[in-house]
Amino acid sequence: MTSLNDTLFTNAQRVIPGGVNSPVRAFRSVGGTPRFFERGSGARVWDADGKSYIDYVGSWGPLILGHAYPPVVEAVQAAAAKGLSFGAPTAAEVELAELLCQRVPGVEQVRLVSSGTEATMSAIRLARGFTGRSKIVKFEGCYHGHADSLLVKAGSGALTFGNPSSAGVPAETAAHTLVLDYNNTAMLEAAFAKEGDSIACIIVEAVAGNMNLVAPRRAFLDACRALCSRHGSVLIFDEVMTGFRVGPAGAQGLFGITADVVTLGKVIGGGMPLGAFGGRRDIMQSIAPLGPVYQAGTLSGNPVAVAAGLATLGAIAAPGFFEQLGTRTKQLTDGLTAAAQAAGVAFSAQAVGGMFGLYFRATPPQSYAEVMTCDVAAFNHFFHAMLNEGVYLAPSAFEAGFVSAPHGDEEINATLAAARRCFDQLTQK
Ligand X SMILES: *Cc1c(COP(=O)(O)O)cnc(C)c1O
CB 163 within 8 A of CB 153: yes
- CB nearer to ligand X: give 75 or 264: 264
- Is 331 a binding residue for ligand X by CB under 6 A? The answer is no
Helix (H, G, I), strand (E, B) or coil at 278: strand
Q: Which of 27, 139, 143, 392 binds ligand X (CB under 6 A)?
A: 143
Active-site residue list: 143, 238, 266
Q: How many angstroms separate the CA atoms of 33 and 293, rounded? A: 44
Is the separation of the CB atoms in 224 and 218 below 8 Å?
no
Residue from the set 35, 135, 144, 328 that interacts with ligand X by CB under 6 A = 144
Asked whether position 138 contacts ligand X by CB under 6 A, the answer is: no
The reply to whether 149 sits near ligand X by the rule CB under 6 A is no
CB under 8 Å to 84, separation ≥6 — which residues?
302, 303, 304
238 binds ligand X (CB under 6 A): yes
Angle, helices 321-343/409-428, rounded to nearest 10 degrees: 20
Q: Which C-beta is closer to ligand X: that of 183 or that of 210?
A: 210
Among 93, 140, 181, 205, binds ligand X (CB under 6 A): 205
Quickly list DSSP for 117-142. HHHHHHHHHHHHHHHT--EEEEETT-
**402 CB-contact burial (10 Å; exposed 0-12 / middle 13-18 / buried 19+):** buried
Candidate list 240, 268, 283, 403; residue touching ligand X; CB under 6 A: 240
Stretch that binds ligand X, among 23-31, 48-56, 98-106, 233-241 (CB under 6 A): 233-241
Nearest-angstrom CA–CA distance, 144 and 262: 12
Instruction: Answer yes or no: are the C-beta atoms of 126 and 119 closer than 8 Å.
Output: no
**Among the listed residues 34, 106, 162, 265, the single contact to ligand X using CB under 6 A:** 265
- Which is nearer to ligand X, 209 or 247 (by Cβ)? 209
Q: How far is the CB of 268 from ligand X (least distance, A)?
A: 11
Interface with ligand X: number of residues (CB under 6 A): 15
Selected from 19, 106, 141, 145, the binder of ligand X by CB under 6 A is 145
Q: Report the residue from 117, 177, 258, 312 that binds ligand X according to the rule CB under 6 A.
A: 117
- Give residue 427's Cα distance to chain centre: 32
Is 169 in a helix, a strand, or coil?
coil
Q: Cα(184)–Cα(81) distance, rounded to whole angstroms?
A: 51
CB of 276 to ligand X, least distance (A): 11
Straight-line distance from the first to the last Cα atom of the chain, in angstroms, rounded to the nearest whole number: 27
The minimum distance between CB 120 and ligand X, in angstroms, equals 5
Q: Which is nearer to ligand X, 223 or 400 (CB)?
A: 400
Residues 41 and 52: their CA atoms lie apart, in Å, by 10
Pick the piece of the chain touching ligand X (CB under 6 A) from 3-11, 67-75, 111-119, 151-159. 111-119
Question: Interface with ligand X by CB under 6 A: which range of 141-149, 227-235, 283-291, 391-399?
Answer: 141-149
231, 196 contact by CB (below 8 A): yes
CA 248 from centre of chain:
16
- Residue from 43, 234, 241, 259 that binds ligand X (CB under 6 A)? 241
Least distance between ligand X and beta carbon 306 (Å): 16
Q: Is 115 in the site for ligand X (CB under 6 A)?
A: yes
The residue from 109, 122, 210, 331 that contacts ligand X (CB under 6 A) is 210
Give yes or no for residue 123 binding ligand X (CB under 6 A): no
CB of 242 to ligand X, least distance (A): 7
**In whole angstroms, what is the distance from residue 425 CA to residue 216 CA?**
33
Q: Which spans of this chain sit near ligand X (rule: CB under 6 A)?
A: 115-117, 120, 143-145, 205, 209-210, 238, 240-241, 265, 275
